[in-house]
Structure 1
């Protein structure tokens, strides 16, 4: 696996781009804290970009399946670079509207980039190495998040807010260069097959496939459970910082969650040898709810950091496992549309969670909100488990079931 140059290009590009992404996100939070007092208004601004991604999602899926993945990655990567210009203007003018333009443009780029990347990985990695590759890819993204947030914190002390976005632009430019070096053999026969399937229906063609592969559909629904926490993550971090009257707690939260996530992605490779896929997904979905309940004690530094460590470990085990199910069981000719549909579904959930969390934080406060979110997460986990048993859905592939029954 490690002799494959495409893997090194993808991972190195992810590391560099992640540094740019997270320095920019910390810059966004800093800019909003300065300009916008209401959590609900902050949520509205964050959701503007997500809405653009939802609208563009069906088109993105069709284009990714009909086009060369590398071409889509290059064009969307260039769009990321250009979007940073809007944020530079926002800082220069102090205008929130330019920030909205930045949010919309960068989310539009992400709507094409991430599904194309997810559809590319199975083309450059063997099936047996997908779990390892997904784990490493998420690890690299997490390392870049930890380093990016730490770098942004230091830069905000010594440099201007605008410097964070110059770093972002340089990083996106480096990603573009790495993407140019990718060699993806998509195969003329497979591409012709994709086009002959008939793409006029867009996402409508994904639904019959989901019915034919119920394990994929169940896993897709399961991935919505962690989004209650992930969707409100930045708003929660801001509120904890205000509750504890500490700016440094932001960096510590990202660090603890990120390190625990990396530990989880390594651990799941060994856990998967002893646990069934079903056990992994439902156990770690429950752990996400536990982390939400722990934040009731958000005034305690120790419990707060422990909660984010529990969250990170749970997500580090949950998402690589779910991604393998998607990549192995969903036919490759539908990968572009499926991953775009998944991203669009997540964006819809992010919209709902962001606006709900913003309103809850203004009305009832963080501690009441996390109890409600924890109860919802536990209830959803229980409902999905009952439905899976009732419909006799098996998440494991046949060969996995046979191996574990010996």
Structure 2
């Protein structure tokens, strides 16, 4: 895999663009803090951008499936760069409305870019390399997040907000330039035949029903989302419970390092054990991590909980992504990953609002019991049916087992 030029282009582009993305996010917070005093209005502004991405999801899925994925990546990259001009204007005029246009442009570009990238990865690496590629890709994105946020915080002390966005735009430009060098085979004839004949997300449903493992993986992604959606609010509450501001940084650091560790070693685990069993196991561990936050008033216990969560999702997401990339037919990848992208965005907002409501009404310790118990119920309901099928020679066996069986 490491001899594949496309792999290095994708990973290097992800790292550089990730730096630009998170520098831009820190810039967004700085701008809103200056011009928008109300936290509620800030949240509405952010949600408006996310909803714009959700709205174009169906169209993005059809376009990814009916056109060259490389061209979709290039056009969305151009759109992302052009969106930054709205932010330059917003800073110049102090306009919140121009910032809204920037957020809408960025989210619409992302609605095309990320599903297209997920659909392109199976065309870049071999099937047996997908788990490793997905794990490394997520590690690179995590590293970019950590470095990007830290770098932006330092740069804001010395540079203007406009300069920060200029550096963010430059990073997007590097990604766009690198995308032109991607080379992977697509069935041009098949694309032409499908062009203009694509249906909507409803066509994905029969495919999911035909592959119960993919449907189970899709449902089980709700479990880490229950944790991720309320991540920031929980960190704030744990800090208040322990009366410590220092614990915030430690929780982020422990979770990030644990995530990277899990994504690093998941390839070795996937070669030895069944993918379905691993996915269910790490869903269960994520549920336990959520429940263990009941004891988050204790310093070491909160660190253990966040470390356990980071480790489990660092293993879960590469396996789930690999299942989606291999169990869903390639001609449906664009619509499926756009569909999943929409579900993730909607789920994130629902969990965020639910977390805020429960924190205000029953508090952190009982909220995590509610979410943790719900997660365990999902594992038992959807995991048990898949575990009963592990002995069958169908789409539930792992790649290593398929290789052994064929030899």
Superposition TM-score, scaled by structure 1 size: 0.88
Q: 1:332 aligns with which of 327, 330, 333?
A: 330
Q: In the alignment, is residue 309 of structure 1 matched against residue 302 of structure 2? A: no
Aligned to 1:218: 216
Within 5 Å, give how 1:37-56 maps onto structure 2: 38=39, 42-56=42-56
CA contact (8 A) 2:131 2:270 kept: no
Aligned to 1:353: 351
CA offset digits 1:117-155 (Å, max 9, x no partner): 011111111112111111111111111112112212323
CA distance in 2, matches of 1:19, 1:96: 24
CA offset digits 1:144-179 (Å, max 9, x no partner): 112112212323444455544333222111111111
Q: In the alignment, is residue 382 of structure 1 matched against residue 383 of structure 2? A: no
Aligned CA RMSD, in angstroms, stands at 3.0
CA contact (8 A) 1:21 1:168 kept: yes
Aligned to 1:232: 230
* Structure 1 residue 387: Cα displacement: 4.5
CA offset digits 1:284-317 (Å, max 9, x no partner): 1122222223434545554333322212111110
CA distance in 1, matches of 2:337, 2:293: 32
Q: 2:279 aligns with which of 263, 267, 281?
A: 281
CA contact (8 A) 1:288 1:311 kept: yes
Within 5 Å, give how 1:99-248 maps onto structure 2: 99-195=99-195, 198-199=197-198, 201-240=199-238
* Structure 1 residue 279: Cα displacement: 2.0
Moved more, 248-257 or 131-140: 248-257
Superposition TM-score, scaled by structure 2 size: 0.87
| SS of equivalent residue, structure 2 residue 166 | helix
CA distance in 2, matches of 1:263, 1:290: 19
CA contact (8 A) 2:290 2:372 kept: yes
Number of residue equivalences: 403
* Structure 1 residue 391: Cα displacement: 8.4
| SS of equivalent residue, structure 2 residue 46 | helix
Tell me: CA distance 1:399–1:253, structure 2 relative to 1, closer, same or farther (3 Å): closer
CA distance in 2, matches of 1:352, 1:324: 26
CA distance in 2, matches of 1:169, 1:16: 11
CA contact (8 A) 1:153 1:251 kept: no
Tell me: CA distance 1:28–1:55, structure 2 relative to 1, closer, same or farther (3 Å): same
Gaps in structure 2 of 5+ consecutive residues: none
CA distance in 2, matches of 1:100, 1:375: 38
CA distance in 1, matches of 2:184, 2:63: 17
CA distance in 2, matches of 1:238, 1:33: 18
Gaps in structure 1 of 5+ consecutive residues: none
CA contact (8 A) 1:43 1:358 kept: no
Aligned to 1:295: 293
Tell me: CA distance 1:299–1:398, structure 2 relative to 1, closer, same or farther (3 Å): closer
Moved more, 48-57 or 4-13: 48-57
Moved more, 163-172 or 210-219: 163-172
Q: 2:256 aligns with which of 243, 255, 258?
A: 258
Tell me: CA distance 1:152–1:21, structure 2 relative to 1, closer, same or farther (3 Å): same
